[in-house]
Chain A
């Protein structure tokens, strides 16, 4: 594996981010998002590069990465399926959706399909309690779902690929 370097576009974005804070360290969260977007996941090389850039120790950056659930230390699928099973969703069939997605994709929590198209995560409350149950695909919310609708969503993503 080669060393990770930010591309020009992201370096420019990082310069913009740094203007928002009086010191460099607070930029670690937004910069890690950019790294994850560019690299697909947070590798050890990413951590070293981010630490160098923001004058932090790699340990400090790793500490941030492991604290927050939205940074992934392994490659996830092209479509990261997040199913909420917290109470408001659970009361309206959240676990039915979760089981259906597991069955349909043949993977369990935090696993990736062999073709790397899908990955699955059981997530905590996403703030869709009034439109439950829900799933999120990467950054997009799909709300007021049924098992049938979830199958449709997964099928259309599969076809799109």
Chain B
């Protein structure tokens, strides 16, 4: 199977090697066509965003206004902070020039003269590698003003790296723009959408690193070729990140729709000690977890995962064996979202803390049966009631793990509430709904 994003070519991260292997021919080809042609091809290819929402990349580009007197911007999202996701760093390290070429094509298609690559602050090493690649591209006239000479057209695009500083929320596109603008990374209320009112109020498109790295191949080999790879409704390859209880964790670039069991057993080498799988999170920590006894036949693409009640997210697959303490795992996931909630919306700011308190109580063995329904109730009151998707990201793992592993959670709690515990959390108890009244 041919790899698109991380090809097996030695030293492809070096610009000379990239050029020897057909590098920067796709941008040349793209510049001989109109921007609308490029958008059309990417639309027809079926390329969907790899950052979590799996939205059509071509369609997103087409939202950019054709006539505007404002400058247009492209932002590339390399904030990569979702637990279980570690794919973008592979692109920075092993194929940065294809990313750069993808950026140039996308900028041309939407009419952006400046692109910001937002990279999470902890990725010092990968920021340096990406900056080196950019410097090399500039030196050879493949970026910046000298592009005009290189390709003999009027088009040029400057590419800058903006370094984050440790905030998960900045992976949310409007928060990312606020962060580039030098503000606290608060998500914005939508509408207006970025294509109308983005960076500094100008039309802006935000794409994921992996999404953009696919673009040169689509231009060079044609949208028909791309649309036939993997699952037709979500075509192309996906960088699956395998972590947790597997023998060979790592990034595997495979066609979309690869069987989850193939990923774990054929590529990941199975579970250490041949243990059974208790739980799998298929797309990064915010996606609904699947029971280990229900992963047979599950295909890894946006549409297939929807039918089994989960989502592809960032393709970060976390495997947990039968000896895993799921309550502790869920408490840890919730601690993460509690920590990362930006605090703008009350349901998320308060709700994540409440869920964490309840889960910690269950971890300590002090939870009661009503806590289980209380968790679902709090999660339901966060979901859909916040400005950005962090609300859902915090609510989904709680809601679906508790629902799908109810037997497991019930075995960890007592039937009745102990009075000292009830007193300690009396303010929360006011919100508790008697079990019988909850309808789902």
Residues of chain A at the chain B interface (Cβ within 8 Å): 20, 22-23, 25-30, 32-33, 54, 56, 60, 63-64, 67-71, 85-88, 90-92, 123-132, 136, 139-141
Judge whether A124 and B318 touch: CB under 8 Å.
no
Residue from A28, A69, A130, A140 with most neighbouring chain B CB atoms (10 Å):
A130
> Is B181 touching A131 in the complex (CB atoms < 8 A)?
no
- Pick the contact of A132: B163, B182, B243, B333 (CB < 8 A): B243
When A28-B182, A86-B83, A91-B320 are in contact, do A33 and B166 touch as well, CB less than 8 Å?
A: no
Contact A124 B83, beta carbon cutoff 8 Å:
yes
Contact of A30 with B83 at beta-carbon distance under 8 Å, contacts A87-B285, A124-B339, A127-B122 already known: no
Of B7-15, B245-253, B361-369, the one touching chain A: B245-253
| Number of interchain pairs (Cβ within 8 Å) | 134
Contact B185 A87, beta carbon cutoff 8 Å:
no
Q: By the criterion CB–CB under 8 Å, are B332 and A88 in contact?
A: no
Quick check: B165 and A69 within 8 Å, CB to CB?
Answer: yes
| Closest Cβ–Cβ distance, residue A65 to chain B (whole Å) | 9
Chain B stretch 250-296: residues in CB contact (< 8 A) with chain A: 250-251, 281, 285
Q: Closest residue of chain A to B252, judged by CB?
A: A130
Query: Which residue of chain A has the shortest Cβ distance to B88 in the bound complex?
Result: A127
A129 and B84 within 8 A (CB): yes
B241 touches A129 (CB 8 A): yes
- Give chain A residues whose Cβ lies under 8 Å from the Cβ of B333: 87
Given contacts A69-B165, A69-B166, A132-B243, contact A26 B181 (CB under 8 A): yes
Q: Mark B201-217, 1 if CB is under 8 A from A, else 0.
A: 00000000000000000
- Minimum-distance CB pairs A-B, first 9: A68-B165, A129-B243, A69-B166, A139-B124, A25-B182, A70-B166, A88-B243, A125-B83, A67-B184
Task: Select B120's contact among A29, A127, A132, A140, beta carbons within 8 Å.
Answer: A127
Shortest Cβ distance from B327 into chain A, in angstroms? 13
> A82 CB to closest chain B CB, in angstroms?
8
Cross-interface CB contact of B162 among A29, A54, A64, cutoff 8 Å: A29
A85 / chain B contacts, CB cutoff of 8 Å:
332
Contact of A130 among B71, B165, B241 (CB under 8 A): B241
Find chain A residues with CB under 8 A from B162 CB. 26, 29-30
A68 to chain B, nearest CB (A): 3
A159 and B122 alpha carbons, distance in the complex (Å): 26
Count chain A CB atoms within 10 A of each CB in B81, B85, B165, B244 and give the residue with the most.
Answer: B165
Q: Does B340 contact A (CB under 8 A)?
A: yes
| Given pairs A125-B84, A131-B249, 14 additional interface contacts (CB within 8 A) | A26-B162, A27-B182, A63-B184, A67-B184, A70-B166, A86-B285, A87-B285, A87-B318, A88-B243, A92-B244, A124-B340, A129-B84, A129-B243, A130-B243
Cα(A64)–Cα(B184), bound, Å? 5
CB–CB A127/B123 < 8 A: yes
Contact present for B316 and A129 (CB under 8 Å)? yes
In the bound complex, how far is the Cα of B341 from the Cα of A124, in angstroms? 13
Binding site for A on B (CB under 8 A): 71, 80-86, 88-89, 120-125, 160, 162-168, 179-185, 200, 241-245, 249-251, 281, 285, 316, 318, 320, 324, 328-329, 332-333, 336, 339-340, 342
Check if B83 sits within 8 Å of A88, measured CB to CB. Answer: yes
Kindly list chain A residues whose C-beta atoms are within 8 Å of the C-beta of B123: 127
In the bound complex, CA of A123 to CA of B166 (Å): 9
Q: Find out whether the CB atom of A29 lies under 8 angstroms from the CB atom of B242.
A: no
Are A68 and B121 touching (Cβ within 8 A)? Answer: yes
With a CB–CB cut-off of 8 A, which chain B residues contact A141?
125
Q: Are A86 and B336 in contact (CB under 8 A)?
A: yes
Residues of B within 8 A of A130 (CB): 86, 241-243, 249-251
A125-B250 in contact given A29-B163, A64-B182 (Cβ < 8 Å): no
Distance (whole angstroms) from the CB of B191 to the closest CB of chain A: 24
Note all chain B residues with C-beta closer than 8 A to A71.
Answer: 165
Q: How far is the CA of A56 from the CA of B182 in the complex (A)?
A: 10
How near does chain B come to A110, taking the closest CB pair, in angstroms? 13
A129 touches B86 (CB 8 A): yes
B329-A132 in contact (CB<8A):
no
Partner of A68, one of B71, B166, B249, B332: B166
In the complex, residue of chain A having the shortest beta-carbon distance to the beta carbon of B343? A67
Q: How far is the CA of A26 from the CA of B160 in the complex (A)?
A: 12
With contacts A26-B182, A69-B167, A88-B318 taken as known, whether A127 is within 8 angstroms of B251 at the C-beta atoms is no
In the bound complex, residues from chain B placing their C-beta under 8 Å from that of A91 are: 243-245, 318, 320, 324, 329
Rounded to whole Å, the gap between the CB of A136 and the closest CB of chain B is 7
Check if B332 sits within 8 Å of A86, measured CB to CB: yes
For residue B166, which residues in chain A have a CB less than 8 angstroms away from its CB?
A: 68-70
- Which residue of chain B is the closest to A144 with respect to CB atoms? B249
**Closest chain A CB from B366 CB (angstroms):** 20
B184 and A30 within 8 A (CB): no
Chain B: which residue is nearest A86 at the CB level?
A: B83
Alpha-carbon distance between A29 and B82 when the two chains are bound, in angstroms = 22
For residue A88, which residues in chain B have a CB less than 8 angstroms away from its CB? 83-84, 243-244, 249, 318
